Structure 1
Amino acid sequence: MIRYALSCDSGHSFESWFPSSTSYDEQARAGLVTCPFCDSPKVAKQIMAPSLGRATALPAPVEAPGAATSGPSAPGAAAPGVPVPAPSAPADGPVSLVSEPERQLRAMIRALHEHVARTADHVGEDFAAEARRMHYGETEQRAIYGEASLNEARSLLEEGIAVQPLPALPDDRN
């Protein structure tokens, strides 16, 4: 692949990649190379510094922790490449991707799951059948939890059997 710096007859500058220099020439002759800004087919190569690969990689420049680089955006701004402190970034410690209210909600749902697991019997996919047996006096009443389809839950409610969905943790879906 080869990258060319190009410009159109309206003065727009842009870059484009081609499989080879011959490919660029063929596409330009066919009118397939156009300016992405004004769609002009009158495009020419510009002088461009060669991009040379290195036999060994150079080590990445080391910057101060919490620093970012920024170019000047107004008179008196820092020069390009000068480290600029990141705005209100924590100096150390993990960065949370979850807001504090969401973290608290997840903790409450997790505590609810733990409470239900400690105080009720898990009946799995037999939940609807077991709930009916208890409701109609075929087995003793006790706290149970398990899985039921939406249709099974609706049927239980229509029969007067109280059921309550247990909210799923977002982590359980991953």
Structure 2
Amino acid sequence: MIVFDLSCTQGHRFEGWFGSSADYDDQRARGLLACPHCGCAEVVKAPMAPAVPAKGNARQEVLPPETRPMANTPMPPEVQKALHQLAKAQAEALKASTWVGEKFAEETRKMHYGERDEAPIHGQASLAEAKALIEEGVPVAPLPFPVAPPEKLN
């Protein structure tokens, strides 16, 4: 089992337990995720702090209670607003973009080397493919929020 911190566009944070990361992706793509607080179906993974144990000889600094981050509490309104605006901007940008799926690396290279006309595209690339594109100087960037392939949308 894997636990993800999730959040909805209304700013509610909650945990989701999944058999694997692929199970989360599958359930999200099929529209099976919803906020338990408000029922919102626009659910994404929330930023999570890595669980890195401290060294045995490290002095631990204790923060006063009023400054400690709290898990599973609503996001501050300004963070919620910023994430909503970012999601809205991504959705607007994707309207003018073409889904190329697993051919993303190939199609991006073709545009970079002048083998096809430049156009906004989005798709999937493995970590190795993305690193190779960056090393070649091909301008690419990950999207801030996951995007489901068109054939998996409701």
TM bin (shorter chain): 0.3 to 0.5
RCO comparison, higher one (Cα < 8 Å, 6+): 2
Question: What TM-score results when the alignment is normalised by the length of structure 1?
Answer: 0.39
* Greater Rg by CA: 1
Q: Which has the higher helix share?
A: 2
Question: What TM-score results when the alignment is normalised by the length of structure 2?
Answer: 0.43
